[in-house]
Amino acid sequence: MRGRSLIVFALAIGVSILALPLAAHHGNAAYDSTRQIDLKGTVTQFLWANPHCVVAFDATDNAGQAVHWMAETENPTTMTNMGWTKGSLKPGDQITIRVITVKNGKPIGRIVWVELANGQKLPGRLLPLVDSSKPEDNPKQ
């Protein structure tokens, strides 16, 4: 009986240790919540996946060089509730996108909203990290 209790205790400790990094996953420490930028680009890939949907797109920097960006948002269930579908973005689509950038300056961001070529604006966050000074800039949720 003592051996079984020891095994259960060891498994509980193991699961606890493995679960700790999962809690850290949802932090926003990598993002500069004070810096939002708008980019115009071409979608190269749209991943409709858990734990986050990801938009990969190419944009041009101030020097005219192409930059490959990756921007994440919420999970598919939340995205569906905000008006997105698996087919909302396709490779080749032209978009304007507002992202909260990462602190290290790499072309990675957290989506605030995406505007499609037809003018439809889709929210990228259930609750934006930074409120816009102009309410019309943030899509209705």
> What is the per-residue pLDDT for 11?
62
φ, ψ of residue 12 in degrees (nearest 5): -60, -45
φ, ψ of residue 22 in degrees (nearest 5): -65, -35
Looking at the predicted structure, is the pLDDT value of residue 137 above 90? no
Q: Which residues of 1-35 are buried (b: 16+ CB within 10 A; e: fewer)?
A: eeeeeeeeeeeeeeeeeeeeeeeeeeeeeebbeee
Question: What single string gives the DSSP state of each residue in 48-75?
Answer: --SS--EEEEEEE-TTS-EEEEEEE---
- Does residue 102 contact residue 31 with C-beta atoms inside 8 Å? yes
Q: What is the pLDDT of residues 7-64, one digit of tens each?
A: 766 565 655 555 444 444 556 678 888 899 999 999 999 999 999 999 999 999 889 9
Q: What is the pLDDT of residues 98-132, one digit of tens each?
A: 999 999 999 999 999 999 999 999 998 765 444 44
Angle at 138 between CA 123 and CA 113, to 5 degrees: 35
> What is the per-residue pLDDT for 20?
45
- Does residue 115 contact residue 89 with C-beta atoms inside 8 Å? no
> What is the per-residue pLDDT for 4?
72
> What is the per-residue pLDDT for 125?
75
> What is the per-residue pLDDT for 81?
92
Question: What single string gives the DSSP state of each residue in 77-105?
Answer: HHHHHTT--TTS--TT-EEEEEEEEETT-
In terms of pTM, does the model score above 0.85? no
Which helix (H) or strand (E) covers residue 25, if one does?
helix 2-25
> What is the per-residue pLDDT for 128?
47
Q: Where are the domains of the chain?
A: 31-128
- Does residue 114 contact residue 89 with C-beta atoms inside 8 Å? yes
CATH topology of domain 31-128: OB fold (Dihydrolipoamide Acetyltransferase, E2P) (2.40.50)
